[in-house]
Amino acid sequence: MAAAFTDDPTIPDTAILWRRIPPGDVYLVFDESLNRSRPSSAAFQDSKDGSPMSVFIADDLDGPHDALAGHDGFYLVGFSAGVARECGLSVVRDPANDPPGHAFVVGAKTKSHCRKLARRCRWIVGPPDP
């Protein structure tokens, strides 16, 4: 399993990774320095079952609906694999490829790392404009 958590060089820095964001205002914050709403950094922590942060590789899916299947109302954000690597994190495909296109962002995530991901991600499926 250790080998599975080695950064995957076949995933380029330009690859866009998608992550689901809960519906409504659960994670929504307004960043005055960016002058826009974005998800909280709390949205970029590892899962509580011990598995690393779960993402989808956008190019491996047919569209956002694949990442949101079964999650009505959820939003979707995207950030590049390069941003994750700037934080010293690794990007690896899910060895089980279940669901297809599933990947992990692996490594210890400081508050600074989570904040960087939150500030640099973009809405793919976002909340309606206020």
Partner 1 sequence: MTTLSVYDPGLDMLSDGAVLPVMPEWSGEPVGSKRDRRTPWLERARLALHPEPMWRSGGHRPDWLDDAVLRLARLLELEPDWDSYGARAVSIAAADTALVLLLGLAGPETPAPHIVPTPAGGVQIEWHTPRLDLEVEIRSPTRVFVGYEFSDTGEEGEFPVTSDFRHLADLVSGLTDERR
Residues contributing to the site for partner 1 (CB under 8 A): 20, 22, 26-27, 29-34, 40-43, 45-49, 54, 71, 74, 110-112, 115
Pair 8, 92: CB distance under 8 Å = yes
Residue 40 beta carbon to partner 1: minimum distance, rounded to whole angstroms: 4
Pair 130, 39: CB distance under 8 Å = no
Residue 1 beta carbon to partner 1: minimum distance, rounded to whole angstroms: 19
Closer to partner 1 at the Cβ: 11 or 114? 114
Closer to partner 1 at the Cβ: 11 or 38? 38
Pair 104, 54: CB distance under 8 Å = yes
Question: For 106-120, b where at least 16 C-beta lie within 10 A, e where not — what string?
Answer: bbebeeebbbbbbeb
Residue 6 beta carbon to partner 1: minimum distance, rounded to whole angstroms: 23
Closer to partner 1 at the Cβ: 11 or 118? 118
